A and B are shown apart, each in its own frame.
Chain A
Amino acid sequence: MKPFTYQRAGELREALAGAAGTPSAKFISGGTNLLDLMKLEIERPAHLVDINHLPFSGIEETAEGGLRIGAQVRNSTLAADPRIRSDYPVLAQALLAGASAQIRNKASTGGNLLQRTRCYYFYDRNMPCNKRKPGSGCAALHGFNRMHAVLGSSEACIAVHPSDMAVAMTVLDASVETIDTERVTRQIPIGDLHRLPGTTPDIETPLKLGEMITAVILPPVQPGRHIYRKVRDRASYAFALVSVAAIVDVAGETITGARFALGGVAAKPWRTPEAEAILLGEKVSTEVFQRAAEIALANAIGRGGNDFKIPLAKRTIQHALAVASQRG
């Protein structure tokens, strides 16, 4: 681990000043990912600004009828919140499907969104990795890539984003509120928070240096049944091979609302508006779910070890949509 200085920020002003003062400063919240990466010297910040004590730990109702989740709300707190459990169950399910109880107790909402990929080659400094060392190549592309992306990847990087929570927030059309070192705030639709790798997989978000996530805004409750289905190699404490967050509303036999997001398949939670669109107004049927699944995976590219994710994702989408459209 590279030596670093540490600052506990009591106020937002201090935190932003601390981040502005050192080019390689990092905010640290739960530290469940950053500390591991620092020990391996994959992250090498010269200065850490501890933002755990900033006043972003509340969950408040918004004027629009949604919820504003402070960036420092712990994953376990968020999953247990009665409003999340009753109105946004897909988010509660996704949170509880992630990590372990101990990690969820520590991990924050903002930190969860900014956790980095679990690509084995990213984690090993002896290996080529364009995300860790731009221009060095991608060892996963022709290597062991069972966990890797089938959608939105490039020859430069096939890593996936590991968050479950972000997949649920994506299907909920959440947005991310930030503040930068000039104290300018903005809202970023969650679909724009994570970038696809292209030729610059080292640039993972549009966040500027020193820009901090302060909250996640959930829009008002959407009608429909929620489900988060995570497929993994063991029953707990494993990253998703494929996950599906789905919300389906039906009236009689007709689908009146349908949306789904995929996890474990790309560098970001994956939505396919065309696939969702074809469901609207259709009668509930195996065939229409199958069509939606085919559309969602139409551009999928397997890299060998992860080829199975394509049929697996289709089957899981169909399963999730079928369950989410059940009533009674």
Chain B
Amino acid sequence: MSNSTPMANTGKTWIGQPVDRVDGALKVTGQAVYAYEHRADDPVAYGYILGAGIARGRISAIDTAQAEAMPGVLRVMTHKNAPAQPAFGPAVTPAVREVFTRPRPVLSTDRVRYYDEPVALVVAETFEAARGAAGLIAIEYEDERGAYDLSRHLADAYAPQRTNAGFQTDSLVGDFEAAFADSDVKVDTIYTTPYEHHNPMEPHATLAAWSGDEVTIYTSAQTLANFQAGIANTLQIPPDEVHLVSRFIGGGFGSKLIVHADTILAALAARELQRPVKIALTRQQMFANAGHRAKMIQSVRLSADRDGKLTGIAHDVCSATSRFEEFCEQTAVFARSLYAAPNRITRHRLVGLDTNRGEWMRSPGEAPGMLAFECAMDELADQIGNDPIELRIRNEPEVDPERNVPFSTRNLVACMQEGARRFGWEQRQAKPGTVREGRKLIGLGMAAAIRPNYLGASAARIGIDGNGRVKVELDMTDIGTGTYTILAQIAATSLGLPLSAIDVQLGDSHFPRTAGSGGSWGAASAGSAVHNACEALKQKIAKVAQEVRGSPFFGLNLDGTEFRNGEIRIGDRSENLANLIKRVAPQGLDARGAVEAAGENYRNYSQHAYGAHFVEIEVDMDTAEIRIRRMLSVIGAGRILNPKTARSQIIGGMVWGIGAALMEESVLDPRYGHFVNHDLAEYHVPVNADVPDLDVVFLEEPDSNANVFGSKGIGELGVCGAGAAVANAIFNATGVRVREFPITLDKVLPGLPIQISRANRS
């Protein structure tokens, strides 16, 4: 048998089944232990971070005497006594990778770079004592005039060297300006998208405990390798002395890809005090200290012929960023692949402000970019009297329009058509503001979804013991997406075993390294590694079965070896797998598998997942309150590994779309540089009552160029374009086009008919 021949499993395939979460019972019974809930052998001390009361300047005096005198206080750390750490370094790292690994010093200088930046840490016997003492620290600042308002500093806009993930800053194809000038049909529009915050349910939290030179960090991380490198580089210790544990994560959404102040400070304080230290950010602190999506001003220009065939596309994005660390969200990059047009421009510009850095927030790029672009497409459809779906079909490209490579698979048109059929799109009235039910204006809207598919280098270890139990280990994380479940399905399928035989262990840096959770690449990357590890294990089992005397397969040719229904079958002989292992390898067998980052296939194909969102909305004629009635997303994302967890991912994304369209906004006060509405009472996300009837349909189309499963990433796709579908439905309902997100009722109200509730005796 050649090594390259996969060993077949013709029995039950768990992949593609709507399997319940294997960790579900642990979660609903409170047995899944999250970062802050971990215990240590020694008594834990509790840290509380005090943030700066200014956004730019320096600390001229800091008096900690009163805090230090409080009962139970163990240490007050400030820039005056914090352990030495390397300097933060330049705003732009030489390599993309270093964004994730650079040192992130805390309390290391007297400078304040953003509002609520940590300026002191109090560690005490209890959380309450630490927090109480923090309130007694007296600080004097030299307050400097900062720049906080994107729109007031547009003159300072500059072109960054690259966008996030290393995409080119600009792309130019043909001569857009000439095509635009010559066109009779054009859309020339500006949208603004606001600051947003991830706000995972579990805040950023860490327990750090040292044992000799090694520190164990229990934290809430999406990508352990990044955390390990970031901690090691900040503490200036070897990475292998940093042991990370992140078994369960209460949401990340991109805010837990790099190490934050809770982790660095817990590690520093625990080392100083020689006892374990726990630190969590408060919800309010999350707004300043856990990343955000930056505010953007987006210009979208489209030119077309009378039939709606695009002749030009220009998407220019100007985004706020931090002065001290650049983050350029790849907001216009999706527009390079979505629609055909001979003349094209996409550009990213930044304005440096005195705020904290932006970070990756679910669907970086597409989330804000498609809000603008897919609404501009709706404007074009309205202008020329085209159906929005027809307009998009008319501009369906045959190959990637800027890279000129084929699409691996692309199911956008089918998604739109299937969605239209299921949603009753034919009922949509093209003329806005014409459908009424009682005091409600009703509208339908749609938008397309696109999101790149990735594969990241990952490895996994697998072992089978004498009882036929399989253990899979890798440093992958499950941030609530269902990774534990999918990896168990993959291993069970490959080994022909029941799901219950598979024990998946994640979230420990002692396990083989993976790409972690981010960029929707988790299932494909970690899954491929597990799959390859299973293949290697099967080879090993078969070989031992062939070589060990007393094996029923001793000396047999291994061609056609099968693992199914808990058995190994070679030729016409079969044996229970557990029994075989007990007999031929009672100490068990193990193997490793790995996958490289996508290379050739990624270069040779344009690889994206697609979808189409449909929304029915009602707008109150008296108050302009906007409520979703129903929403459907039809998704073309290759093969679906688990329709149940996949559906949850898409629904979660759709809810993010509702939030982005209707309510999510962190308001930055341009006088003080702080996020004004920094709690969940005033930063609104949709509640259950805002999310009525949501449905998801998958159009499966295995993509053999993507990975061994033919799957594509779905963690972010549901967000992409979802908000634009909501906005387009609002336009259809009211005739009001709001170009400043979120679309709150005060922006719609002035455009509503004056006619209000009539005194009605009926």
Residues of B within 8 A of A326 (CB): 760-762
- Check A318 against B677 for contact (C-beta < 8 Å): no
Interface positions of A from 1 to 30, Cβ below 8 Å from B:
1-3
Query: Does A120 interact with chain B (Cβ within 8 Å)?
Result: yes
- Check A127 against B672 for contact (C-beta < 8 Å): yes
Stretch at the interface among A67-75, A184-192, A201-209, A231-239: A231-239
Residues of A within 8 A of B53 (CB): 125-126
Instruction: Report the separation of the CA atoms of residues A312 and B674 in the bound assembly, to the nearest whole angstrom.
Output: 29
Instruction: Report the separation of the CA atoms of residues A126 and B672 in the bound assembly, to the nearest whole angstrom.
Output: 10
Stretch at the interface among A87-95, A213-221, A282-290: A282-290
With known contacts A124-B674, A231-B625, A1–B132 Cβ distance under 8 A: yes
Residues of A within 8 A of B667 (CB): 144
Query: Does A273 interact with chain B (Cβ within 8 Å)?
Result: no
Residues of A within 8 A of B758 (CB): 286, 322
- Check B684 against A233 for contact (C-beta < 8 Å): yes
Instruction: Report the separation of the CA atoms of residues A143 and B676 in the bound assembly, to the nearest whole angstrom.
Output: 9
Instruction: Report the separation of the CA atoms of residues A70 and B674 in the bound assembly, to the nearest whole angstrom.
Output: 42
Q: Mark B135-175, 1 if CB is under 8 A from A, else 0.
A: 10000000000000000000000000000000000000000
Instruction: Report the separation of the CA atoms of residues A31 and B484 in the bound assembly, to the nearest whole angstrom.
Output: 40
- Check A234 against B687 for contact (C-beta < 8 Å): yes
Instruction: Report the separation of the CA atoms of residues A241 and B624 in the bound assembly, to the nearest whole angstrom.
Output: 12
- Check A234 against B686 for contact (C-beta < 8 Å): yes
Instruction: Report the separation of the CA atoms of residues A307 and B622 in the bound assembly, to the nearest whole angstrom.
Output: 17
With known contacts A231-B745, A322-B757, A3–B625 Cβ distance under 8 A: no
Query: Does A301 interact with chain B (Cβ within 8 Å)?
Result: no
B272 CB, nearest partner CB in chain A, Å: 25
- Check A241 against B684 for contact (C-beta < 8 Å): no
With known contacts A1-B131, A144-B676, A319-B623, A235–B687 Cβ distance under 8 A: yes
Instruction: Report the separation of the CA atoms of residues A314 and B424 in the bound assembly, to the nearest whole angstrom.
Output: 37
A119 CB, nearest partner CB in chain B, Å: 10
Nearest CB to that of B628 among chain A residues?
A: A235
With known contacts A1-B128, A286-B758, A234–B746 Cβ distance under 8 A: no
With known contacts A127-B672, A233-B663, A323-B757, A2–B686 Cβ distance under 8 A: no
Q: Which of A1, A234, A239, A288 contacts B689 (CB 8 A)?
A: A234
A267 CB, nearest partner CB in chain B, Å: 18
A82 CB, nearest partner CB in chain B, Å: 25
- Check B132 against A146 for contact (C-beta < 8 Å): no
- Check B622 against A241 for contact (C-beta < 8 Å): no
Residues of A within 8 A of B135 (CB): 1-2, 41
- Check B622 against A236 for contact (C-beta < 8 Å): no
Residue count of chain A within 8 Å CB distance of chain B: 52
- Check A308 against B746 for contact (C-beta < 8 Å): yes
- Check A322 against B759 for contact (C-beta < 8 Å): yes
- Check B746 against A146 for contact (C-beta < 8 Å): yes
Query: Does A223 interact with chain B (Cβ within 8 Å)?
Result: no
Instruction: Report the separation of the CA atoms of residues A326 and B762 in the bound assembly, to the nearest whole angstrom.
Output: 7
Instruction: Report the separation of the CA atoms of residues A315 and B690 in the bound assembly, to the nearest whole angstrom.
Output: 23
- Check B663 against A312 for contact (C-beta < 8 Å): no
- Check B756 against A319 for contact (C-beta < 8 Å): yes
- Check B623 against A231 for contact (C-beta < 8 Å): yes
Give the one of A41, A308, A323, A326 with max B CB within 10 A: A308
- Check A315 against B759 for contact (C-beta < 8 Å): no
Residues of B within 8 A of A328 (CB): 761-762
- Check B761 against A236 for contact (C-beta < 8 Å): no
Query: Does A175 interact with chain B (Cβ within 8 Å)?
Result: no
Give the one of B627, B756, B761 with max A CB within 10 A: B756
With known contacts A144-B677, A286-B759, A312-B746, A234–B690 Cβ distance under 8 A: yes
Q: Mark B655-687, 1 if CB is under 8 A from A, else 0.
A: 000000011000101011010111101101011
B624 CB, nearest partner CB in chain A, Å: 8
- Check A322 against B760 for contact (C-beta < 8 Å): yes
- Check A234 against B662 for contact (C-beta < 8 Å): yes
With known contacts A235-B627, A235-B690, A2–B132 Cβ distance under 8 A: yes
Instruction: Report the separation of the CA atoms of residues A84 and B669 in the bound assembly, to the nearest whole angstrom.
Output: 43
Instruction: Report the separation of the CA atoms of residues A147 and B128 in the bound assembly, to the nearest whole angstrom.
Output: 32
Q: Which of B131, B682, B757 contacts A318 (CB 8 A)?
A: B757
Residues of A within 8 A of B2 (CB): none
Q: Mark A119-151, 1 if CB is under 8 A from B, else 0.
A: 011011111000000000001001110110000
Instruction: Report the separation of the CA atoms of residues A311 and B687 in the bound assembly, to the nearest whole angstrom.
Output: 27
Query: Does B576 interact with chain A (Cβ within 8 Å)?
Result: no
Instruction: Report the separation of the CA atoms of residues A241 and B284 in the bound assembly, to the nearest whole angstrom.
Output: 23
Q: Which of B682, B684, B760 contacts A118 (CB 8 A)?
A: B682
Q: Which of A40, A127, A143, A315 contacts B622 (CB 8 A)?
A: A315
Query: Does A316 interact with chain B (Cβ within 8 Å)?
Result: yes
Nearest CB to that of B116 among chain A residues?
A: A126
B123 CB, nearest partner CB in chain A, Å: 16
B760 CB, nearest partner CB in chain A, Å: 6
Q: Mark B723-762, 1 if CB is under 8 A from A, else 0.
A: 0000000000000000000001110011000001111111
B616 CB, nearest partner CB in chain A, Å: 15
- Check B684 against A126 for contact (C-beta < 8 Å): no
Instruction: Report the separation of the CA atoms of residues A232 and B671 in the bound assembly, to the nearest whole angstrom.
Output: 27
Interface positions of B from 528 to 558, Cβ below 8 Å from A:
none
Nearest CB to that of B742 among chain A residues?
A: A233
Instruction: Report the separation of the CA atoms of residues A2 and B132 in the bound assembly, to the nearest whole angstrom.
Output: 5
Nearest CB to that of A308 among chain B residues?
A: B746
Query: Does A325 interact with chain B (Cβ within 8 Å)?
Result: yes
Residues of B within 8 A of A239 (CB): 681
Residues of A within 8 A of B622 (CB): 315-316, 318-319
Residues of B within 8 A of A3 (CB): 132
Query: Does B688 interact with chain A (Cβ within 8 Å)?
Result: yes
Interface positions of B from 218 to 248, Cβ below 8 Å from A:
none
Nearest CB to that of B747 among chain A residues?
A: A308
Instruction: Report the separation of the CA atoms of residues A232 and B761 in the bound assembly, to the nearest whole angstrom.
Output: 27
With known contacts A118-B681, A126-B674, A322-B760, A311–B132 Cβ distance under 8 A: no
Interface positions of B from 681 to 703, Cβ below 8 Å from A:
681-682, 684, 686-690
Q: Mark B286-304, 1 if CB is under 8 A from A, else 0.
A: 0000000000000000000
- Check B623 against A315 for contact (C-beta < 8 Å): yes
B245 CB, nearest partner CB in chain A, Å: 29
Nearest CB to that of A309 among chain B residues?
A: B746
Q: Mark A294-323, 1 if CB is under 8 A from B, else 0.
A: 000000000000001001100110110111
- Check B623 against A308 for contact (C-beta < 8 Å): no
Q: Which of A41, A241, A253 contacts B745 (CB 8 A)?
A: A241
Instruction: Report the separation of the CA atoms of residues A328 and B761 in the bound assembly, to the nearest whole angstrom.
Output: 8
Instruction: Report the separation of the CA atoms of residues A316 and B749 in the bound assembly, to the nearest whole angstrom.
Output: 12
With known contacts A1-B131, A143-B669, A144-B676, A233–B744 Cβ distance under 8 A: yes
B151 CB, nearest partner CB in chain A, Å: 15
- Check B749 against A120 for contact (C-beta < 8 Å): no
Nearest CB to that of A327 among chain B residues?
A: B761
Nearest CB to that of A236 among chain B residues?
A: B689
Instruction: Report the separation of the CA atoms of residues A97 and B11 in the bound assembly, to the nearest whole angstrom.
Output: 55
Nearest CB to that of B55 among chain A residues?
A: A126
Instruction: Report the separation of the CA atoms of residues A278 and B659 in the bound assembly, to the nearest whole angstrom.
Output: 42
Residues of B within 8 A of A315 (CB): 622-623, 749, 756-757
- Check A312 against B623 for contact (C-beta < 8 Å): yes
Residues of A within 8 A of B760 (CB): 322, 326
Nearest CB to that of A121 among chain B residues?
A: B676
Residues of B within 8 A of A241 (CB): 745-746
4 nearest CB pairs, A to B: A235-B689, A308-B746, A126-B53, A236-B689
15 contacts between A and B (CB under 8 A): A123-B679, A124-B676, A124-B678, A139-B671, A143-B671, A144-B667, A233-B744, A234-B662, A242-B623, A289-B757, A290-B756, A308-B750, A312-B746, A319-B439, A319-B622
Known: A126-B53, A308-B750, A328-B761. 13 other contacts (CB 8 A): A39-B131, A118-B681, A237-B687, A238-B684, A242-B623, A284-B761, A288-B759, A289-B757, A312-B746, A312-B749, A315-B757, A316-B623, A322-B760
Residues of A within 8 A of B (CB): 1-3, 39-41, 118, 120-121, 123-127, 139, 142-144, 146-147, 231-239, 241-242, 253, 284-286, 288-290, 308, 311-312, 315-316, 318-319, 321-323, 325-328
